[in-house]
């Protein structure tokens, strides 16, 4: 039986979110039962997710705009290229009558690949069910503050303080992965969805002034279906809440802790697994 999950995403800014959605759509072991969007123009992000699902010909459950403003009050980072390659997004149907926090509160598995604003609100609800939380966020080797944590430190403090089981992959591991020109060229020839993904990758490369991107979020998605490609250590994550180190993620090993961090991965096999599943989404 396929594992059910809800995706919480800030799709539209970094191309890795839409690639992560493609990984999910190309994984028959998973059943996507909803998408919630977070951070900034959440309606636009939801419409983009709807367009991708429609091109893929897949039902993904309700697509729900969530909370746009970080509870920390930090200004939203918004480059402006979000949705630029998808014409007529205002025609996409999303579920604006739904409450994103409720959708996440009722899910038993959540893949969260954006700032944690929606997820914090969900975990604070009295009717929130116990969850398996799979996250992309943090950094556990070099003392860096990662984007998803930095964007809403207050929300991250709530999530990691909730005692919910968390499996997380940080920058220290995802930066070992890379998608370059061969991936774009393969996707460009893989139907309508592949062409869109390739165009989104090229747009993001142009914005960054680079010739590659790092599949941070797709790696978190792959942990759900191919965990043997990753190594983990159990313990406890604390987020520095204030001051010059606000947003740092500090890990303390503890065999009884509620959190698991990814401590190693097989870059070649992870890259191959990601590309295979993205191609499956483009060709099914």
pLDDT of residue 284: 75
CA-to-CA dists, residue 209 to 195, 201, 202, 213, 272, angstroms: 21, 12, 10, 10, 25
Model confidence pLDDT, tens digit, residues 198-241:
999 999 999 999 999 999 999 999 999 999 999 999 999 999 99
Model confidence pLDDT, tens digit, residues 14-46:
999 999 999 999 999 999 999 999 999 999 999
Please check the confidence at residue 1 and state whether its pLDDT lies above 90: no
Mean pLDDT for the chain?
A: 97
Model confidence pLDDT, tens digit, residues 77-104:
999 999 999 999 999 999 999 999 999 9
Rounded CA separation 267/277 (Å): 15
Q: pLDDT > 90: what percent of the chain? A: 98
Model confidence pLDDT, tens digit, residues 171-182:
999 999 999 999
């Amino acid at each position: 039986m396929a594992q059910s999950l809800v995706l919480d995403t800030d799709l539209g800014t970094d191309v890795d979110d839409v690639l992560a959605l493609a990984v999910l759509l190309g994984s028959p072991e998973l059943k996507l039962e909803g998408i919630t969007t977070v951070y900034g123009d959440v309606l636009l992000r939801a419409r983009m997710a709807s367009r991708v699902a429609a091109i893929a010909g897949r039902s993904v459950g309700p697509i729900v705009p969530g909370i746009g403003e970080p509870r920390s009050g930090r200004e939203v980072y918004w480059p402006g290229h979000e949705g630029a390659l998808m014409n007529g997004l205002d025609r996409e149907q999303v579920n604006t009558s739904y409450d994103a926090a409720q959708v996440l509160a009722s899910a038993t598995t959540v893949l969260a690949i954006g700032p944690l604003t929606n997820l914090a609100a969900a975990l604070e609800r009295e009717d929130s069910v116990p969850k398996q939380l799979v996250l992309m966020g943090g950094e556990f080797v070099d003392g860096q503050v990662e984007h998803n944590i930095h964007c809403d430190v207050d929300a991250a403090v709530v999530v990691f303080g909730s005692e919910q089981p968390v499996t997380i992959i940080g920058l220290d591991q995802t930066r070992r992965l890379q998608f370059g020109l061969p991936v774009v060229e393969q996707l460009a020839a893989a139907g309508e969805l592949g062409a869109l993904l390739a165009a989104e990758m090229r747009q993001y490369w142009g914005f960054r002034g680079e010739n590659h991107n790092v599949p941070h979020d797709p790696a978190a998605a792959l942990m759900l279906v191919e965990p043997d490609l990753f190594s983990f250590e159990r313990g406890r994550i604390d987020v520095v809440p204030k001051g010059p180190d606000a947003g740092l993620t500090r890990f303390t090993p503890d065999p009884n802790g509620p959190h698991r961090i990814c401590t190693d991965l097989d870059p070649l096999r992870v890259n191959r697994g990601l590309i295979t599943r993205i191609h499956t989404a483009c060709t099914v």
